[in-house]
């Protein structure tokens, strides 16, 4: 493992935000995923940051960087500065609201990890593709008419 001094680190680049409001007003109500995808083209390093609702969020999409930030031996889950901390006030400790050192998180993590491993996800691909194709087919059959996507 290579170690770096603080002088070697560069700040995470981000798009220009709005003073005091950050980036939240720039995120469209419709199709925010497309917005983030287009935004990622401005940052070929595979990482960028945004101030969303007063919380600094980091977006990582380079496969090597994603693998690095998913390394549980180097990083930990933090909920204190996220909306999940407020959810915890009402729901208690669970998979998404427990602190990483709590038994509730460890138990849920052990149960769910095998189902979301890379091998397991590859096995789901055929089923996910079939469901997506069926859904698109259903929408195509209603072309020109409104579609209630929650149905």
Each domain of the chain, given as residue ranges in start order, spans 11-75
Spatial separation of the C-alpha atoms in residues 53 and 133, rounded to whole Å: 35
Predicted local confidence at residue 51, as pLDDT: 92
Encode pLDDT of 65-108 as tens digits. Answer: 988 888 877 766 677 777 777 888 888 888 778 888 888 888 88
Q: Are 22 and 50 in contact (CB under 8 A)?
A: yes
Q: Is the pTM of the predicted complex or chain greater than 0.85?
A: no
Spatial separation of the C-alpha atoms in residues 115 and 47, rounded to whole Å: 27
How far is residue 91 CA from its own chain's centroid?
21
Spatial separation of the C-alpha atoms in residues 56 and 62, rounded to whole Å: 19
């Amino acid at each position: 493992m290579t170690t770096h001094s603080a002088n070697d680190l560069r700040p995470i680049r981000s798009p220009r935000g709005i003073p005091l409001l950050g980036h939240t007003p720039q995120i469209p109500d419709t199709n925010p995923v497309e917005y983030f995808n287009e935004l990622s083209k401005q940052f070929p390093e595979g990482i960028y940051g945004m101030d969303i609702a007063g919380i600094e969020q980091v977006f990582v999409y380079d496969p090597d960087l994603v693998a690095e930030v998913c390394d549980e031996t180097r990083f930990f889950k933090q909920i204190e500065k996220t909306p999940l901390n407020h959810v915890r006030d009402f729901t208690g400790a669970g998979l998404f609201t427990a602190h990483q050192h709590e038994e509730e998180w460890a138990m849920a993590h052990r149960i769910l990890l095998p189902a979301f491993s890379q091998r397991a996800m590859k096995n789901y691909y055929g089923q996910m593709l079939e469901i997506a194709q069926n859904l698109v087919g259903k929408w195509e059959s209603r072309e020109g008419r409104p579609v209630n996507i929650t149905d």
